Structure 1
């Protein structure tokens, strides 16, 4: 098993006083991670994907729950968002002070159905698990081996099974076909599933570019709010994430166009059906940018980063690819795959915002920032 960076964070929150929630897309290793953490403990493992489990534990009464969990130290509820009122069930167990650790996992933000967040307010520690990170792969395979596989990671991504198995395209095509969106399609009862796939294709083709909701609505033939709602759902299912432009005027940040990135390069490439080697690709720069920014998001999340992340662009189209802001200090990153490409940070940014750090990231030094 490849050791996961989030493990130490979960162990620190292991108190039996609050539920531990582990969120992340399907197939990133949530179940494997939990199984490793609960070794040598008496564990009740419930799977929300099982119809009988959903039927049995939806609206279960307190006495039934007490009898069910009596002989166990840990209660794990996998894909918990699929069990009706599971948040209320978990709340009853926590409030009973049974000295048992409750662990819930989910492949969406769980508030898709408000099953968890409201009942467990003040009673949960929340953690996010991503596809494998550069740091995890490097630590497992050694730096030299991981770096040799950089092209593979840019094309096929870092889902655990993709990294460890040989049938990479087959695995990715299955994931990108519908499996990742199972919770969206079932929980939200989307009326136009084909539209979801068309939207994903459009977003994949615009990787690393500003996204206009109005333009997407015209391309897809639906109203703007439908596009916004579908993008919000895809973000809650951990398929994509938005990066908003930085401005000293926060109102401008909210109304300006975001950039949309994929949490995994392989999923993005599977959506557009493109697994060609880097030498034959026109989107190499976008692939490397998506890889680096998604890796930064993983690292910052695992390290408890509480600042903000943005990109920056002015009306003259000068741009900074990635910005971290913490305690009013700015670190700015320009991301270029080719280490020989000359990069200058525009004075219109540096003279106005006075960044503490400026970094030029390329294929020869990206690991220094991850």
Structure 2
């Protein structure tokens, strides 16, 4: 069962336009599957970064060596490129010396791939992010009724492709994913001095979804210094396990200006970390599940539809709060997330008046207009 990805057409439109195309995202989200689907009718050379021979061949080759490796192929696909040392320099040489060659590159950890390619490939690349299956992709595949029936299950088990296509084994697959695959690159590079601390840190963050995170409190809880906590959180962000939401602050003196909230790219991973797969009806954290689901889906939506918007949360020292704030073209949008459509919500007047903000409550019955395609957007 193959689920059509929204990024497919964008990638196809960028082929043979004179730039390297880089696809990055978490492990197991279907990057290789997507590229192979796009290239199924193309004549291309496949280079696997997991293959030691390929890594050796692409480790600082000169132009003549590259000419021999690439041959007369019109297109080359380098998979798991983050495993190849100095891949950015090699891609720069290929781009500059082989003008008619299209290069596609995939990688699972942005802290390696993006970092190594940013400077060498400045002005030479298109970058595409691929996340777990979006609700928009899932509903287009499954149909409205089936998707609607699955919503509560998706809040618990998430949206990874293998989870959606292997429902009978989703618990076991999620536990395996959260315990090994997601951190493979971090561990293999020796970037973590205390591997057990990563899991304990993620568990602590999983319990704090929707709340502001204190690095000092995490440091005391985990018995590691604050700098290590911050460093590990940055690595987990770059490996696409979590992402931070900063505070929105422009005018008011009592606004919180430096705090962060941390969310998971996938609800299933979050629940696997705390080993809680209970159904929604039996949980006391439905607010956190709903908020994490909606914000992660909005991140996918904005990326896949190339909407250049900044995202935040808003709070004052007097505990006035708006769950999610989006800004673009001088506009400010404020959102509150409630699972129950009947729950009453009042937006702080200081927020609405100070920023002339449009506001909206996103709940169980209207969430599609927040996470679906642009034609359905009302906000």
CA drift at 1:307? 2.3
2:110 and 2:182 map into 1 onto residues whose CA distance is 13
One of 153, 169, 172 as aligned partner of 1:170: 172
Structure 1 residue 254, shift from structure 2 partner: 9.7
Query: Which of the residues 299, 302, 306 maps onto 1:300?
Result: 302
Is the contact made by 1:155 and 1:275 (CA closer than 8 Å) also made in structure 2?
yes
Structure 1 residue runs of 5 or longer lacking an equivalent are none
Which segment is superposed worse, 340-349 or 106-115? Answer: 106-115
Q: Secondary structure in 1 aligned to 2:213?
A: coil
Contact 1:111–1:117 (CA<8 Å) still a contact in 2? no
Q: 1:341 matched to which residue of 2?
A: 343
What's the offset of the Cα at 1:135? 0.4
SS in 1 for 2:117: coil
The corresponding residue for 1:215 is 217
| Residue 147 of structure 2: aligned partner | 146
Deviation at 1:43, TM superposition (A): 1.5
Moved more, 108-117 or 62-71: 108-117
Q: Is the 8 A contact 1:244 1:254 kept in 2?
A: no
Q: CA RMSD in A?
A: 1.8
1:240-255 equivalences under 5 Å are 240-248=242-250
State the alpha-carbon separation in 2 of the partners of residues 39 and 253 from structure 1: 53
- Residue 202 of structure 2 contacts residue 273 of structure 2 at CA under 8 Å; is this kept in 1? yes
Q: Which residue of 1 aligns with 2:282?
A: 280
Which residue is 2:13 aligned to? 12
Contact 2:243 2:262 in 1 (8 A): yes
Q: Distance in 1 between matches of 2:252 and 2:127?
A: 27
Q: Is 1:330 equivalent to 2:332 in the alignment?
A: yes
2-side partners of 1:108 and 1:9: how far apart? 21
Q: Give the equivalent residue in structure 2 for 1:203.
A: 205
Aligned length: 369
Structure 2 match to 1:366: 367
Relative distance call for 1:230 and 1:61 in structure 2 (3 A) is same
Shift of residue 56 of structure 1?
2.5
1:113 deviates by 8.4
> Equivalent residue for 1:259?
261
| Structure 2: segments with no counterpart, 5+ residues | 372-379
Give SS of 1:84's match.
coil
CA displacement 1:132-159 (0-9 Å, x = unmatched):
0000001111111111100111000000
TM-score by length of 1: 0.96
Note if contact 2:21-2:126 (Cα within 8 Å) is conserved in structure 1: yes
* TM score, norm. by length of structure 2: 0.94
Q: Give CA deviations for 1:109-135 in whole Å, capped at 9, x if unaligned.
A: 144784222211111100100000000
The partner residue of 1:232 within 231, 234, 252 is 234
Range with bigger deviation, 6-15 or 271-280: 6-15
**For the residues of structure 1 that align with 2:193 and 2:255, how far apart are their CA atoms?**
31
TM-aligned CA deviation for residue 352 of structure 1: 1.5
- 2:83 corresponds to: 82
* 8 Å contact kept, 1:312–1:320: yes
Q: Relative to 1, partners in 2 of residues 1:121 and 1:317: Cα closer, same or farther, differing over 3 Å? A: same
Alpha-carbon contact 1:42-1:71 (below 8 Å) kept: no
The correspondence for 1:192, drawn from 183, 191, 194, is 194
CA contact (8 A) 1:79 1:106 kept: yes
